[in-house]
Amino acid sequence: SDLAFEELTVIKQLKAIEALIDENIRPMLQMDGGDMEVIDIQKADDGKIDVYIRYMGACSGCSHGGAGGGTLIAIENMLTTTLSPNIRVMPV
């Protein structure tokens, strides 16, 4: 799409996020018996786009999945560099 990520509908934002996660993150999580899902996307008052995710399976109890974990940082870095620097990933 020629539109900026912020200008897309929430459905198109979700599809773009899911496509990147399916290609770059989900296979690694599934190899370890885990997975993740995008729960919601909301525009925050500070102009950021909050992407709420939930870890599932083996990842739900993994110490690396928490707010300071490497997986969360990798997801956020991938989304901010590929889609928009305004994305913030929030684990639920």
| Domains of the chain and CATH, by start | 5-91 (3.30.300.130)
Predicted pLDDT of residue 67: 43
pLDDT tens series, the chain, 92 aa: 578 999 999 999 999 999 999 999 999 888 888 899 999 999 999 999 999 999 888 776 665 454 447 788 999 999 999 999 999 999 98
Long-range contacts of 71-75 (CB under 8 A, 24+ apart): 71/25, 71/29, 74/25, 75/21, 75/25, 75/36
Predicted pLDDT of residue 63: 54
CA distance 72 to 42: 18
Q: The pTM is what?
A: 0.86
